[in-house]
Structure 1
């Protein structure tokens, strides 16, 4: 496991995503290395429809090419969207797709999540799809979760879908082996090894219990698990 101090820099992560815009623009197949990605999009969109209405304010962190926002708008109506990503080409693609889908307003920010400064009580929902696993030290995680709570309006919800670890290393090893078997069925052992290599170099996920504890510590009034399959999980936190 690569030590945190030797993980990929922001520029290195940005460069990889700059070169992969077309793949991440596919709702059904853009994240095939992520277990149950289309199902999770549906779960988040269907759950969001219980509280979001057309015209509400939506923040999409690590928006990529805009898949999460697009799927939520399909279910909930057009939104006032703030899109955030490290990659400018991803943001440009997301802006175009979200505009074509009829968003009431679009704001884009090319930024590291940790550096964002947004007004308090601004958003009805925050989407964080495959982005939190790029956080490094515990202080980064605590800071970001405090900000997520601060940016939400009362009654607003955070939706997270991400790579997670297990706290028990024996369970983690077994689940990681199972994930490797899944990747092998997609593209063979070489594909599995490439995915594992960039995860080891770029990512520093935390366990689901770790993240739920952060929700509670930062003042979220309610949380629930929407989906879990091996080393991927999706949950919500309500302010």
Structure 2
């Protein structure tokens, strides 16, 4: 990626793009197809979250998009009395997510339209927090640290944070290999033009960090245990337990 952090898209620019891209993020079977193993990680996180906290009563979905991850979790729970808090920059995404999720729970649905960096969260409120393909929009290191600490405070003791995201690599050789694999994936999925479009979006909007660095930051934020569920090239599913 060539752009410096201060040259990346602003939250308002990101909100505007996602306001016009709701349909692409509303497929529960495929998940976000521009990401490697999207459908697999969608199911994997849902299974892990529901096995870890089968009696969860409150979910927070950060950067919820059209609500795929929360929907999958709700579908796998054996009860439907779950309160859901949905966070996203895009009001269109929030509206779609709320409509889809309303049929899966009798609990209260709360919409939080705001950048998570600027949103105050209650303490010890959530059993399960999901952050899928959203944290890579964080910029400076202190923002990552502050968000991880905020989420740790908001999670109940015994709860967990579940992340699926784009990741970087510190080692140059591994970085080159991972991004070549990603390039091949996108070309095979559609074509070279689509790959170039996705790479341009990443360069403009995203600032991913290495997986191991993030795990260290999660531990520093106070989480008692961190783990990796799955990693394939530039995409990974990982978690942190309070």
- TM-score norm. by structure 1 comes to 0.97
Asked whether 1:191 is paired with 2:194, we answer: yes
Q: Determine which of 224, 228, 231 is the counterpart of 2:227.
A: 224
Q: Report the Cα offset of residue 102 of structure 1.
A: 2.5
C-alpha distance in 1, partners of 2:39/2:56?
A: 24
- TM-score norm. by structure 2 comes to 0.96
Q: Determine which of 103, 107, 120 is the counterpart of 1:117.
A: 120
C-alpha distance in 1, partners of 2:211/2:69?
A: 21
Deviation track 1:104-126 (CA, whole Å, cap 9, x = no partner) reads 11000100010110111110010
Where does the alignment leave 5 or more consecutive residues of structure 1 unmatched?
none
Q: Report the Cα offset of residue 32 of structure 1.
A: 0.8
Counterpart in the other structure of 2:47: 46
C-alpha distance in 2, partners of 1:141/1:55?
A: 26
C-alpha distance in 2, partners of 1:174/1:119?
A: 41
Q: How many residues align?
A: 239
Q: Report the Cα offset of residue 171 of structure 1.
A: 1.0
CA contact (8 A) 2:163 2:238 kept: yes
Q: Report the Cα offset of residue 217 of structure 1.
A: 0.7
CA contact (8 A) 1:123 1:153 kept: yes
Mapping of residues 140-159 of structure 1, within 5 Å: 140-159=143-162
CA contact (8 A) 2:31 2:39 kept: no
| Shift >6 Å, 4+ stretches | none
Where does the alignment leave 5 or more consecutive residues of structure 2 unmatched?
none
CA RMSD of aligned residues (A): 1.1
